[in-house]
A and B are shown apart, each in its own frame.
Chain A
Amino acid sequence: MTALSGLRVVELANERIAFAGKLMADMGADLILVEPPGGDPSRDYPPFLDNKPGPDRSLYWWHYHTSKRAMVLDLEDPDGAKTFRKLIATTDVLIEAEPRDRLANFQLDYANLSEIKPDLIHIAVTTHGRNDPRSDLPATDLTIMATSGPPWSCGYDDHSLPPIRGPLQGYQTASHFAYMSALTALLHRGVSGDGQFIDVSMTAASNVSTEAATYSWLVAQKTVQRQTGRHASVSPSGETQQLCADGRYANTGVPPRFPHEYKALHEWLKSLGLEDRLPEAVFLEMGAEWEGPFDLSLIGQDDAITAIFGAGRAALQLIASSVSAQDFFLGCQGVGLAVGPVNSPEEAFEDEHFKARGFHVQVDHDEIERTITYPGAPYRFEKTPWSIYRRAPTLNEHNDEVLAELDP
């Protein structure tokens, strides 16, 4: 039994929502990917198997379409549209990212489809929402993010360098909300029997996912400014990204704020023989003996709290410059401080913690007679585990199979 078993999801192939489909398929939904004749363009995106382009070699496709079945339907052709209607009659959730009027042009919009399947949940993902004509202008992950806030907060202290986008976030954040919407509507349908239409805006999704940039403006009409490797902030904040002795960086996060943390940090500093190099060490002792709440909102107002907080930060900087990023991480965690090494994705993937949690997943690729290691589950369910049920489908691979199910 899987969390989404027995549910059929139809995804109209589009790179913007491929991740939402994967998330549902890997939790056990029967996901049928409907592609136009010739297939979805992202079948040809790099990177490629063994670095060689060619049909069914796109690792982009492989990643985003696990656990799905695929068929080709030409919705512009009456026969294709007829088959699509039949398919919808068996479907619980439809997810699409088409231009706003396209499905209506073929009488395949929600008004028509909900007559075929009254409890259908239809999720439409557009750039700015269904009511904004600008949703039909061309946009990419980069331009969606630029207009929605993330890059404003991301980059370097040197503002002659451009703002930076965290890659893939525009599409993936919208996919998260499409998926959450599907689950919410399914729970409601389970109680009420009702389906409904859901309008997901990609730019709105990133707009509400930018933390302090948004609420600093909403609450106090203040504007955050981007800073190297740390949170964009209304007032400049101290560096948190430290170059370690091995040339890699570590993030020192939030400095100590509890007496036991100051005590442990002070002892670690002493054990490394570094206390003499930190004139502020006396404030670590003060922090260790602090009584009552350590009110961070008084930083900059209360001299003692400001000095203690600053000493914690300085001690971490000094230690980081003396050990490797991994040792700094392990040492800090040993004294209870939230610190992490700045891993590359492949370094993270090879870390023992994720391996031990089973993040390396083997997937059988019968078509090339190989077994491939895939990234694993985003969450661990006790009874209905996430799973990759099958490799990504080849073009039209399940056409006959699905048609046979529709006309038994």
Chain B
Amino acid sequence: MSEALSSFRICDFTGQLAGAGATKWLASFGAEVIRIEDPVREGRWDILRGTPPFIDDRRGIDLGGAFNNHNTDKLGITLNLRDEKAKEILAELVRVSDVVTENFAKGVLEKWGFDYSQLKAIKPDIVYVSNCGFGHVGPYSDFRTWGPIVQAISGLTFSSGLPGLEPAGWGYSFMDHTGAYYMAMAIMLALLHRQKTGEGQWVDLACSESALSLHGPALLDWTINANPMRREGSPHSNRNQWPPMAPHGIYPALGDDEWVAIACRNESDWDSLCSVVQRPWLKNKTFATLKDRLTNQNELDQHLGGWTRNQTKHEVETALQDVRIPVAAVLTPEERIDRDPATGSFGLWPSVHHREMGEVRVDGQPVHFSKTDWEMTHGAPCLSEHTMDVLTRVLGYSEDEVTQLASEGVV
């Protein structure tokens, strides 16, 4: 186990990806993450618990592939917080935890009697990080969101697409991943402050606000120059504005749905491209300078696409790599996971053991630490898998007491 964060215990109510992804990072670096779920609804608040993908098409509340992916190396307990005894157990757990995390809609913890002021009363230096789409403050704070909604309202969905067509969006919950990253940052920043000063605090994370901060200079172009992204011909997100490059795009290659990305950064890249492609159109006056190529980029893309479409994406990649032009085949999931030597040798897809699913590969972390590197060995907890362990080992209950609590429907 990594020792990087092994001195920290997280009382974790997070789920889905936007929350669970944050505590996955902490768990992979050795934090003790204790995930709390509702026994009555069998943890179904986390929709991923029982949804595909499944191994061998085996379905069930412990068999969701995404849930396993996002909850590696966490402990799972159940507490029926409708019951006063369960609330006492939660208070005991908060008392021995460093952080309380959740990504419920606003007000859920408050309803149970565990809002920030109450958490502080239990544990004065507690770090509390809440994460929801609109945050706990502001006119929309009672609204509901999912990753795709956060992406829509924050401008990310709009920013990805081709001119004249509806937004392409991002094709997946980019902001669930990224919201989780911001939540992990928030937890660790607050812990650093506590390490220095002994002081805990609350962080109000709104995924839509984190998302709005990701537009790069586009918002300054708006506040200073009044240049909107919603205008004729915009966005064209396979092109590059900052800095402008041409050609720059994703071009068809030989085969069905095969593509290759090419970026010419400067005159030198353009000259190298000309040396490889060797077609008469390269000499057109309309492509003489970068300014010309930017002005006539649609025509340029047509010509270059005509050249790429008769070769495989890997042939194009090899040919342009040889002259050191930025180029990359658009890889399918199978290609980047099982055939790209870079991801395999990096150890990016570790195998974890899940009690019901067996050995399953999951997303690893894209970093390596020289002294306290991450590890992933256990799959996500089955419902209530660690209730006995946590209540006895961490909170000092006897096995008989836990059995009794289970029979009473408390855990």
Contact = CB atoms under 8 A, between A and B. Distances in A.
A105 interface: no
Interface in B382-408: none
A200 B10 CA distance: 25
B370 A151 contact: no
Nearest to A376: B213
B161 interface: yes
Given A180-B181, A204-B366, A349-B223, 8 more contacts: A47-B225, A142-B249, A146-B331, A164-B161, A180-B184, A329-B153, A338-B145, A383-B193
A207 B343 contact: yes
A174 B178 CA distance: 11
6 contacts: A165-B261, A166-B170, A167-B235, A183-B192, A204-B367, A216-B52
B26 to A, nearest CB: 8
Contacts of A266: none
B286 interface: no
Nearest to A50: B225
Nearest to A229: B169
B135 A177 contact: no
Interface string A128-165: 11011010011111111111111111111001011111
B333 A344 contact: no
Contact of A249 (B149, B167, B206): B167
Interface residues of A, number: 159
A154 B169 contact: yes
B344 to A, nearest CB: 11
Nearest to B4: A188
A296 B178 contact: no
A349 B153 CA distance: 10
Nearest to A294: B44
A199 B17 contact: no
B3 interface: yes
B29 interface: yes
A142 B209 contact: no
A337 B144 contact: yes
A140 B239 CA distance: 12
A296 B47 contact: yes
A198 B370 CA distance: 6
B210 interface: yes
A140 B247 CA distance: 13
Interface string B198-242: 010111111011101111111111111101111000010110111
A152 B333 contact: yes
Nearest to B257: A159
A3 B190 contact: yes
Interface string A280-306: 000000000000010111000000000
A146 B260 contact: yes
Given A60-B242, A180-B181, A219-B54, A139 B326 contact: yes
B283 interface: no
Contact of A215 (B42, B69, B329): B69
Interface stretch (A76-84, A269-277, A312-320, A352-360): A352-360
Contacts, number: 539
Interface stretch (B74-82, B106-114, B274-282, B357-365): B357-365
B178 A181 contact: no
B153 A140 contact: no
Contact of A375 (B151, B197, B199, B215): B215
Contacts of B160: 154, 164-167
Contact of A374 (B196, B223, B237): B223
Interface in B65-119: 65-66, 68-69
Contact of B328 (A27, A146, A219): A146
Interface stretch (A67-75, A250-258, A395-403): A250-258
Interface string B9-31: 00000000100000001000100
B328 A139 contact: yes
A3 B192 contact: yes
Given A138-B265, A184-B188, A60 B216 contact: yes
Contacts of B144: 333, 336-338
A218 B69 contact: yes
Contacts of B285: none
A177 B366 contact: yes
A128 B348 CA distance: 11
Contact of B188 (A6, A176, A180, A205): A180
A138 B216 contact: no
A356 B167 CA distance: 27
A173 B178 contact: yes
A100 to B, nearest CB: 14
Interface centre among A172, A228, A343 (most CB of B within 10 A): A343
Interface in B127-152: 133-135, 137-140, 142-146, 148-152
A178 B365 CA distance: 11
A347 interface: yes
Contact of A216 (B53, B245, B263): B53
Interface in A184-234: 184-188, 190-192, 194, 196-205, 207-224, 226-232, 234
Interface string A1-21: 101101000000000000000
Contact of A384 (B168, B189, B217, B361): B189
Contact of B215 (A164, A201, A234, A345): A345
Interface centre among A46, A164, A179 (most CB of B within 10 A): A164
Nearest to A23: B185
A202 B370 CA distance: 18
Contacts of B159: 166-167, 344-345
A240 B68 CA distance: 26
B141 to A, nearest CB: 8
A155 B167 CA distance: 9
Given A3-B190, A379-B203, A47 B227 contact: yes
B117 to A, nearest CB: 12
A32 to B, nearest CB: 19
A188 B6 CA distance: 9
A406 interface: no
Contacts of B221: 47, 59
A106 interface: no
A229 B174 contact: no
B250 A181 contact: no
A4 to B, nearest CB: 7
Contacts of B197: 1
